């Protein structure tokens, strides 16, 4: 068996695998052709004596396609009689090329074989979208980047919102706004510094962003594991949002939104005012000087009713709009809505649009849970 010897070896310089890399503008066929010619000049062999050029490549698509081994031989200006072939064993492609070259020499079938590999890795996947480099450049700058950057921004904002919310929910209501203001001020100052000092736009910006992200994720994770602040935890244990609350029953929790009081915006369009005082409900209609036990509103027109709490306790106004059958279940359920809880000497407006009149068997009415009395609602 003949012996196989490795005579010499050369390689190209390395460049960063991105659009700003030093070798980005060079096609991989041209890059390999430069290596082939450099090897020929160093060793001094006659290119017409080459029996084969075996090139390993683990990604034979795009710029690597069309048998890059053969195309590089032609790009190097070697004679068309010099053959070339491309093999793919992924990460072992270059080693396999050398092995096959040695096997051809040892078998006595070949005398001079060039073996090696080429890999033109790219950072942006759009660069491998097709074999047309100009099209890939256009797709990356006009389409891919326009999708990738907003997508990454959305994911980043989602992560920031989630972990920052864990922090705000864990601290007291007084500390939450302070933390928000401090974080916003820090972000503003960092943005001003980066904008005013161009030299900070590189590695310093990346380091600051990474440190901020790590800090936020760490603090947010710790806050999530610590749990929400006490009053939120208590409200959850009381099942503050169960069916009884959604159906406008009496409030049993102390953790409702007191800030909803005085949310009045339609005072001029109020048809009537319903009061609760000393545990009793009564009403006054606009244009009438005495108390009434019936309020009439037009059908299918938005109409506002004022609720004013003159009692010592917190109350909410409830409008009962009869009952209806749920299509999905066939169960008959009560229909109605209500205001937020209203404190002493506070008021809220309820705006109603009722499409059909009540029936004798299923009348409409206003009530106040925890107080006596009822105001009849008539829809002609």
Give residue 36's region: left, alpha or beta (phi > 0; psi -120 to 50).
alpha
Pairing verdict, β 375-378 and 364-367: antiparallel
Instruction: Enumerate the domain spans of the chain.
Output: 28-123, 133-226, 259-378
pTM of the full predicted structure? 0.38
Q: Which CATH number fits domain 259-378: 2.60.40, 2.60.120, 3.50.4, 1.10.10?
A: 2.60.40
CATH tag, 28-123: 3.40.47.10
Please answer whether residues 349 and 306 qualify as being in contact, where contact means their C-beta atoms are separated by less than 8 angstroms. yes
The answer to whether 304 and 350 are in contact (CB under 8 A) is: yes
**How do residues 32-80 score in pLDDT, each as one tens digit?**
999 999 999 999 999 999 999 999 998 877 777 789 999 999 999 999 9
Predicted local distance difference test score (pLDDT) of residue 34: 93
Q: Comparing 28-123 with 259-378, is the CATH topology the same? A: no
Query: 90, 73, 91: which is closest to 82 by C-alpha?
Result: 73
Beta-carbon contacts of 40 under 8 Å, excluding residues fewer than 6 positions away, are 47
Give residue-wise pLDDT tens across range 141-193.
Answer: 666 666 777 887 888 888 888 888 888 888 887 788 888 888 888 888 877 87
Residue 86 confidence (pLDDT) above 90: yes
Range in 37-41, 257-261, 283-287, 342-346 with the lowest mean pLDDT: 257-261
Half-sphere exposure for 126 (CA within 13 Å, toward CB): 17
C-alpha span between 180 and 216 (Å, rounded): 13
The mean pLDDT of the chain is: 80
């Amino acid at each position: 068996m003949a012996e196989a010897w490795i005579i010499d070896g050369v390689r190209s310089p390395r460049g960063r695998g991105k659009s700003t890399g030093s070798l980005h503008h060079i096609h991989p066929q041209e890059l390999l052709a430069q290596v082939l010619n450099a090897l020929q000049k160093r060793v001094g062999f006659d290119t017409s004596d080459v029996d084969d050029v075996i090139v390993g490549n683990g990604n034979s698509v795009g710029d690597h396609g069309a048998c890059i081994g053969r195309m590089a031989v032609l790009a190097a200006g070697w004679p068309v009689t010099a053959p070339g072939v491309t093999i793919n064993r992924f990460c072992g492609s270059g080693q396999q090329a050398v092995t096959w070259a040695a096997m051809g020499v040892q078998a006595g079938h070949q005398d001079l074989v060039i073996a090696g590999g080429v890999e033109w890795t790219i950072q942006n996947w759009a660069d491998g979208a097709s074999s047309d480099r100009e099209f890939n450049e256009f797709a990356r700058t006009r389409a891919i980047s326009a999708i990738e950057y907003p997508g990454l921004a959305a994911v980043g904002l989602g992560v920031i919102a989630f972990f920052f919310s864990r922090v705000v929910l864990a601290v007291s209501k007084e500390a939450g706004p302070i933390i928000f203001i401090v974080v916003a001020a820090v972000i503003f100052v960092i943005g001003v510094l980066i904008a005013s000092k161009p030299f900070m736009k590189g590695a310093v910006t990346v380091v600051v962003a990474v440190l901020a992200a790590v800090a936020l994720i760490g603090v947010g994770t710790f806050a999530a594991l610590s749990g929400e602040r006490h009053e939120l935890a208590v409200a959850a244990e009381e099942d503050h949002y169960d069916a009884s609350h959604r159906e406008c029953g009496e409030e049993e929790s102390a953790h409702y939104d007191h800030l909803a009081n005085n949310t009045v915006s339609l005072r001029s369009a109020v048809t009537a005012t319903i009061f609760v005082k000393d545990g009793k409900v009564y009403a006054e209609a606009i244009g009438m000087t005495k108390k009434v036990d019936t309020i009439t509103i037009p059908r299918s027109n938005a109409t506002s009713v004022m609720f004013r709490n003159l009692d010592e306790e917190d109350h909410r106004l409830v409008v009962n709009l009869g009952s209806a059958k749920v299509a999905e279940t066939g169960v008959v359920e009560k229909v109605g809505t209500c205001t937020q809880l209203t404190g002493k000497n506070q008021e809220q407006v309820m705006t109603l649009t009722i499409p059909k009149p009540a029936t004798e068997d299923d009348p409409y009415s206003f009530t106040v849970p925890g107080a006596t009395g009822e105001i009849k609602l008539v829809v002609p």
